[in-house]
Amino acid sequence: MRQNSFSIEYGTFLRKVFYVFAIFVLLMLVLTCIMMSDISRMSAYTYNSIEKIPHNRTGLLLGTSKFVSRNKINQYYLNRINAAVELYLSGKIDYIVVSGDNALKSYNEPRTMRKDLIKMGVPQDRIYLDYAGFRTLDSVVRIKHIFKQDSVTIISQDFHNERAIYIARHNGINAIAFNAHVPRQDFFVSNVREFFARLKCLLDV
């Protein structure tokens, strides 16, 4: 009799724990969706048109690797370089801060990007390098605290720009962005990977 009573009470307790856990998970999902939508709303600060984007003294070019394999160039890289050059030559930015990964002596994103910017017509004295842009958060925070810029034009692909602006505006930076062309993507890159990147962005903020 006592054993049956204990089993009933224990079962009731487990159900209560399950319901509380389910409610907690549901609330977290709702909160995450709301915050995800906040990142998407940053698209209001991005531009596709070189004519419409306002002038900013400084552009922040977010780094990426030049090659996806030994001899195959990364189209994300190429399109970001082209976008930065277009902004500069059109008089929409006066200086470019190139922020990227330089964790290894054999791997230097900022230096590689600077070489290609110079080849395409940007003067060397208009380019500054940030070797500690290991993540988007690092690049954005350092543009304010290291390079002393409170207003900036971020240069990357649209989905990346939205995340970067979200971080920037939560750190008191008046940021807009110019969208580099997005190469053809597979489902993983355009959906699953970006979902987890945005979750990480929320944790960073």
| pLDDT by residue, tens only, the chain of 205 residues | 555 665 667 667 777 777 777 776 766 665 666 566 678 899 999 999 999 999 999 999 999 999 987 789 999 999 999 999 999 999 999 999 999 988 777 789 999 999 999 999 999 999 999 999 999 999 999 999 999 999 999 999 999 999 999 999 999 999 999 999 998 765 556 667 777 777 777 777 7
Predicted pLDDT at 196:
74
Q: String of b and e for 158-193 (b: at least 16 CB within 10 Å)?
A: bbbbbbbbbbbeebebebbbbbbebeeeeeeeeeee
The structure's pTM equals 0.81
Q: What pLDDT score does 37 carry?
A: 66
User: Is residue 8 packed enough to be buried (19+ CB in 10 Å), middle (13-18) or exposed (0-12)?
Assistant: exposed
Which pLDDT value is given to residue 63?
94
